[in-house]
Chains A and B, each alone.
Chain A
Amino acid sequence: MTLTTILAATAMLFAANDSTIVLHGVTVVDAAKRDFQMKSSQNSVRVSQTYLEENVAGSLMQSLEGIPGVKAMSIGSGQSKPTIRGLGFNRMVVTEDGIKHEGQQWGDDHGLEMDQFAIDHAEVVKGPAALLHGSDAIGGVLNLFTNHVPVTPFEGAAQVFGRTNNGQIGFSAKVGGRHKRFFYRANMTFVDYADYKVPTDSIQYYSYYIRLKDRCLRNTAGKEQDGSVTLGYMHNGFHTDIRVSDSYSKSGFFANAHGLEVRLSDIDYDHSSRDIDLPYQWVNHLKVLSHTVWQNDRWMLEANLAYQKNMREEHSEPVSHGYMPIPDGSLERRFSKDTYTGKVGIRCGFASQHELRAGASVEHQRNKQSGWGFIIPSFTSTSAGAYVFDRYTVQENLILNAGMRYDHAHTHMHHYEDWYETPISATESVFKQRSAEMSRNFNSITWSAGINYGTGNWVFKANVGKSFRVPIPKELGADGINYHIFRYEKGNPQLDPEESYQLDCGIFWDNQVLTIQIDPYLNYFPNYIYMNPTPDYVEGLQLYNYAQSRVFRWGFEAQVDYAISSHWEAQLKGEYLYAEQLSGEKKGYTLPFSTPWSVDGGVKYLFDWKGKGFAGLNAHIVGTQNEIVPPEKTTKGHWTLNASAGKHFALGATTLKVALHADNLLNKRYYDHTSYYRLIDVPEPGRNFSLMVGLEF
């Protein structure tokens, strides 16, 4: 994965024009496809801007969901988090231009905090990627690139877009230019959406019956405002740029249930479907990223520096809970996280067949929490790591690679006491401690080795690797009630770094007409950190404690592309995943949020009439998920019919792009096993049409 990431980054930087291999588009060069397969022993999928434009959805992750093995865990219509092969949160990494994107990754009720319209292209690496990214890169990495270098003195694009299901309207524009050695880029995006529609008149949850007005999910409206500016200099193999970006979003939570609790409020939610009332959240992500590359024929030096400030507030109507009296104000929780990252890397070739890379990174993090609700303590953490990696081209069609990395991490958690008293006897009350002052050090050695072999129409790949994850403060130190999910969560200060071993294979076959790809994998965790529900009660709520158990997973993704004629293309793709806990109290059970199998079949008609165009139809079939673990519910399978069409029009020197997308054409009512609102029986959005009109100049 190191290869693809760095190569992708450098290719973007130094190529005179965008050299992205369009995997999902229409202009696929077979040799390029094969070269891409030979580039890394890991399974990765590159996603072009064309793909992102054609598949634009409510959130970036929803746009990427068409890639086998990638899923979005959605909260509402405008926010979602990624999972790769069923692993999400702190078990995968999102990077932007090589720097790890730091939000509140552990939380399931907010999104990625990223402007999807600023992204030039993306790459999904499936499988362990600890070598380049250190902790967390267990399931895979989503690499996002916003580093396109303008080629003309002035260029730009503007887009307007809308969605019918949640009344979304949006505008995004970017400009850029290059003047000799200097270049600049700027972009901004505004999105505003209303409550989203579900194909049902009411929702039944436990013994509660919630009637919906106009089939709208009350108070799920939101808005997003993003902007960025990049300034750069490049000359004679030296390139440096600095990018400042800010992403702000505010969105409501479904008003009739906050977390798992059904709520009745005096707020007149039905007054407007576009306003955002309590409960709501806002998130702001500020990022300053400096990227420098210096290269000649023999070596390349790269240095990245970044500062990220992630702020998040969650507001809800103050109510008393257990021994907690009615709090003052609506601020339930607030997180303020500062992250400083530094990364250096070197790549050099020797003995003509070897390409050696080495790198080091440091990171410092401070996360402060406040508000009347408590989930994680404030903490600071510092980590450092270094790696070396060699890629050995034995012959043109046989490439071996191997690498090793060492990481050290230090986490310091601050103590936290309730702001209210809890009686401990008939006469005595105390401010209960929910988190103790604690320091931990973690060390990890990770490695990876792989092979690429090409023969005839075939490319075979195998990669074996170890990855790890430093336990997060919530897992180490939580000791309190999570009122969102109504459970008592108890951390375990003794947790070891979670380790994962994975064997990935890739089988690729391609002739001019047919492309077949199968990516199977085996994955073993000797100590998966699992929040284990117990039969016991603490302070009136079910006790969940963090434990480590052995876990085995296996699965595969498969994809067949068939170019029937110059006008017709067909595609069939699918994924399957199995997970089982081999030890611990939940031995024999699966893992939480297990992704059910799914299959996608589609046909596409391509035409060229005053510019390129296409129209396509796709059926998305998802299997029933009966493999669950308490407190989940089984989820029935479903299928949806979706359509998309796009057309380019040449208008002088500019190009007009129109993309139309229809989701869930039959307005089917179904549940997504991994959706946040699944727990309270809220179905997924109903029929939706989206339209995007863009102008490139």
Chain B
Amino acid sequence: MKKNFLSLMLLCALCACSSSDEEKDMTKPEVVESDTACPLECDTYHKGGTIPFKYLFKDNQELGNFNIEIHNNFDHHTHSGSAVECELGAQKQPQNPWVYNKSFEIPEGVSTYLAEEGIAIPTDIDAGDYHFMIRLTDKASWQQIKSVAIKIVDAE
């Protein structure tokens, strides 16, 4: 019993050595920032309109999936310290805040993907400051998060 176990241990040690040169992905995917991307920090949209979401995703090996989530920032619960500081509206209690949360699949086997989605903005929601969250994974399950502050205003 003990002998078997020792040989098992030894075997494991050898396995461990031989498999260590396998290529592991240690790099996070990238949400590429550019002027043509949308939405950008401090963008304003109208109720009943559409956010023409467009971002380029990249990974060193293979992309996973992405998710878009929009939640209100009426309580100023988070703040972005990025280069652009958006002017926030007054704090307020949410009545009927917009909650958007949808996951999207990226085709298998790609390392670059241009994501484009038209996100319809409901008409009956609270106007105000919102956070537009982009979450992106790669196949190895590294995640990249990008937060964009946007403003929803009443329809013109």
With A208-B79, A209-B81 in contact, is A503–B6 under 8 Å at CB?
yes
Alpha-carbon separation in the docked complex, A401 to B114 (Å)? 65
Whether the Cβ atoms of A206 and B145 lie closer than 8 Å is yes
B77 touching A263 by the CB < 8 A rule? yes
Does chain A have a CB within 8 A of B155? no
- Interface pair A536/B64, CB less than 8 Å apart: yes
- Contact check, A501 vs B9: say whether CB atoms are below 8 A apart: yes
B92 interfacial by beta-carbon distance below 8 Å? no
Dominant secondary structure at the A interface: strand
Partner of B5, one of A264, A321, A464: A464
Which A residues are in CB contact (< 8 Å) with B69?
322, 540
For the complex, count residues of A whose C-beta is within 8 A of B: 46
Query: A319–B143 contact, CB under 8 A?
Result: no
Contact between chains at A323 and B76 (CB < 8 Å) = no
Contacts of B102 in A (CB 8 A): 540
Chain A residues contacting B94 (CB-CB under 8 Å) are 320, 326
| A582 interfacial contact with B, CB 8 Å | yes
Interface pair A261/B78, CB less than 8 Å apart: yes
- The answer, among A319, A535, A540, A585, for a CB contact under 8 Å with B137, is A535
Known contacts A535-B139, A540-B101: A628-B81 contact under CB 8 Å: no
In the complex the two chains form, what is the Cα distance from A537 to B141 in whole Å? 10
Instruction: Return the contact of B80 from the options A208, A265, A522 (Cβ within 8 A).
Output: A208
Given A542-B137, A582-B15: A322 and B64 interface contact (C-beta under 8 Å): no
CB closest residue in chain A, given B144 = A206
Q: How many residues of B contact A (CB 8 A)?
A: 46
Q: Which residues of B contact A534 (CB under 8 A)?
A: 137, 141
Q: Give chain A residues whose Cβ lies under 8 Å from the Cβ of B80.
A: 207-208
Does any Cβ of B come within 8 Å of A611's Cβ? Answer: no
* Given A206-B145, A207-B82: A449 in contact with B2 (beta carbons within 8 A): yes
- What are the residues of chain B within 8 A of A196 when measuring CB–CB? none
CB–CB A588/B81 < 8 A: no
Query: Residue A540 contacts which of B6, B13, B135 (CB distance < 8 angstroms)?
Result: B135
Q: Which of A628-661 contact B (CB under 8 A)?
A: 628, 630-631
Interchain CB contact under 8 A, A552 and B143: no
Is there contact, CB below 8 Å, between B16 and A580?
yes
Contact with B along A485-497 (1 / 0, CB 8 A): 0000000000000
- The yes or no answer to B129 lying at the interface (CB within 8 A) is no
Question: CB-defined interface of A510-551 with B at 8 Å, one 1/0 digit per residue?
Answer: 000000000000101000000011111111111000000000
Q: Let me know if A322 and B147 touch, CB within 8 A.
A: no
Contact B24 A554 (CB under 8 A): no
Residue of B nearest to A544 (CB): B141
What chain A residues lie within 8 Å of B6 (beta carbons)?
A: 464, 503
A294 within 8 A of B: no
A589 interfacial contact with B, CB 8 Å: yes
A539 with B101, Cβ < 8 A, contacts A262-B79, A264-B77, A582-B16 known = yes
Contact residues in B for A540 (Cβ distance below 8 Å): 67, 69, 101-103, 133, 135
Q: For residue B137, which residues in chain A have a CB less than 8 angstroms away from its CB? A: 534-537, 542
Q: Does B75 contact A (CB under 8 A)?
A: yes
Closest to A590 in B: B24
Q: Per-position contact with A for B43-73: 1 when CB-CB < 8 Å, else 0?
A: 0000000000000000000001111010110
Contacts of B9 in A (CB 8 A): 501, 503, 522, 524
Report chain A residues within 8 Å CB of B67: 537, 540-541
Check if A207 sits within 8 Å of B138, measured CB to CB. no
CB closest chain-A residue, reference B104: A537
Contact B138 A580 (CB under 8 A): no
A533 to B16, CA, bound (A): 22
For A209, list chain B residues within 8 Å (CB).
Answer: 81
Q: Which residues of B contact A532 (CB under 8 A)?
A: 141
Nearest Cβ on chain A to B53's Cβ, whole angstroms: 15
Interface residues of B (CB under 8 A from A): 2, 5-6, 8-9, 12-13, 15-16, 19-20, 22, 24, 26, 64-67, 69, 71-72, 75-82, 94, 97, 99, 101-103, 133, 135, 137-143, 145, 147
14 contacting pairs across A/B (C-beta < 8 A) = A208-B79, A208-B80, A262-B79, A501-B5, A501-B8, A524-B8, A537-B137, A540-B69, A540-B135, A541-B135, A582-B15, A582-B19, A588-B19, A631-B142
Chain A to chain B: the 9 pairs with minimum beta-carbon distance, closest first? A535-B64, A209-B81, A537-B103, A533-B141, A540-B101, A535-B137, A537-B67, A540-B69, A207-B82
